[in-house]
Structure 1
Amino acid sequence: MADTDTDSVKTGEDLGSQLSDLTLEQLRALTEQTSHDIELAKTELDMLEKYGIKLEPKDQGAQPTGDMKVSSAESREQSRGRHRARARNTFEKLHSLDVEQKFIIAQRELDDIKHDLGKLHQNSERVIQNFKATMEESEVRWTEIKKAVYEFERDIGKEIKQTSTPITVDKVMRYFEEKNRSRDMLTDKLRLKTAALKVQKKKLMLQMKQKEEMGEVLHEVDFQQLKIENSQFLERIDERNQDLLQLKLTAGNTLQVLCFYKEKLQNMMMESNRLVKEISLRQEMLQKIEGETELVEEERAKAESLNKKLQKQLSDYRVPHVFEYVNEKIDHGDLEKNIKIWERKVELAEMSIKTYRKAWNQMKTSNTQMPVFIKFHAGKSGN
């Protein structure tokens, strides 16, 4: 024991002297290499522990229960001691194993991991298939719901929008009864189709039995090929159904757009007729305005000619002298007096003419009565 201690002391001193001789870069490289070796040893140790746990019997770790109660601190110390002892034993076993044994252990661990991954992959595939089936069923159900909503909007909702009168409950109930009746008919068809498929399945099973008896058994590759073809045909059928549904929806949308444009065309025709009438009225008004414009132009030409004359007179006008103005004013006053005198004379002459005319009329009447009187007296004297 003392010899081993002295040897370890000597090796420690030799290692210290060797480390003191190394440079900083060499120490860094040595540290990295040592860390890598430690990590590799930890990995091997963990793998060996897992392998040892798998090989240990299940009841080995069971501890007998006694009447004495152990404190939590003591139990922790015991567990730490057991873990250290197990790690020490594992480390000793790891050093005692050769490379081939380590390879066998690593290969078994790798096989176990691959097996676990395969199980996990199978479970994941199963879950994915379930989710895909659920999504396909949801999509089919959603397309059926959209189709039902579209048909309801086409049959009932459109009538509600177009007519102001409310739809009766009987009509809605009749619509749903027709839908239920059509669904029942579809169910009957599917039931008959299922029965026919069952009969066909029985026939195929009989044919399979006959082929098995005759030795004409299909291989698994043929079944896989048939499954692939069946899935391809089902996908094509689903695509065609989706295309048909899309075409129906497109046709419905096209009809709605066509009705909208027809209504818009009718409104535009009414607007066009109104605009034609308004244009004719505006043209008549324009003709009247043009006639009035011509009259105004003529009046404007006359006014311009008159304005030119007045402008010419204004330019030719000369202001008289003051004395001339006074003389003209005096002459104007004399003329007004003479006018008044003559007007008085005219009035007197008119009065005399009236008297003369009256006397003349009286003379006329007297002259017409005298011959009649003379004839009357002459007739009497003759008798």
Structure 2
Amino acid sequence: ESDPELSGDAAGEDMFGEDDYGEEEEEEDPGVDRMQELSEKYDQLLELNERALQHNVALQRRVIQRRAQDKAYDAPDKQSEGKVTEHKYQNILQSVHTVRLQLRLQQVKAARMSEELKNQLETKRQKAIECRDSFQEFKRQVARHAEYARTGKKISEKIIQEIEEFEMDKDAEVEEVRGSNISLKNRLAKKEQELRKKDELAENLHVIDFEQLKIENQTLNERIEERNEELHKLRKKTVTTVQIVTHMREKVQFVQQDYQSLKAELSQLDADLAGQRDLVANTKHDRDQHRADSTKLRQQTSIMNSDHLAKDFASRTDHIKQLKEDINQFKKRHKQMTQFVKGHGGTI
């Protein structure tokens, strides 16, 4: 294990180195952003210079065309219009001269500004490189003197080199991201300016849009009223339909009750019919049995083959009926006579 005093000194050196690195980064960031802005301004000035050159060429072409047109006119026309064209030509030449002077001034300013920016960029770059190299050397020395807490071994040069390469890659990525951030900010500013122009152009169209929206709103209100009327009709139809459905449900319940009662009555009638059918079947069976017995008896007595016996049987039955009637008459007369005797207080 390492000495605690040495480890404490190393920790103090690490803390001091980190603070210095943070200060260097804070000083380096504004310089890099400033250089990016100045380079973009330089590009804008170059674009302005190119536009001025194009405008100058266009003016020269117009002058040449005008002079060619003047030559095509007749002599008196040339004399009468010579003063006017010459005056215009002088004005154009003067404007071209002023534009050229402005262009030269802008070029001089741009060149001076570019030189100043280049000088500032070089100084800042040299300072940043020196600070970076000194800081890397400081970190390298601290890493070389550092030791592992458990083993007490020093960090190898290979690991230190890998860490330095990793930091350099990350610094390059940070610079690239900063440049892309600045370009995106500029694009955002341009887009915002374009949106402002579009808003200014759209202000004149607000009145037309408002009138159109009023017309659309009126048509939509009419449609809403029509839909409300249709909805009211549908609600009425729904109410009547619900009433009809409730009435039909009640009627169905009543019909079901009647059906159940009729079904019970039908089952009772079916049971009675089955009993009557059984009774009829038994009666028919008894009748057939009696017929068979009667036929047997008639065959045994041979009454069917004797007319005399049949006549005698018929006469006897008639005589028996006559005797029964006489007996009944005698009984009635006896009863009357007994009542008469009892009514007069006598005895038989």
Structure with more relative contact order (C-alpha pairs < 8 Å, separation 6 or more): 2
TM-score w.r.t. length of structure 1? 0.32
TM-score w.r.t. length of structure 2? 0.34
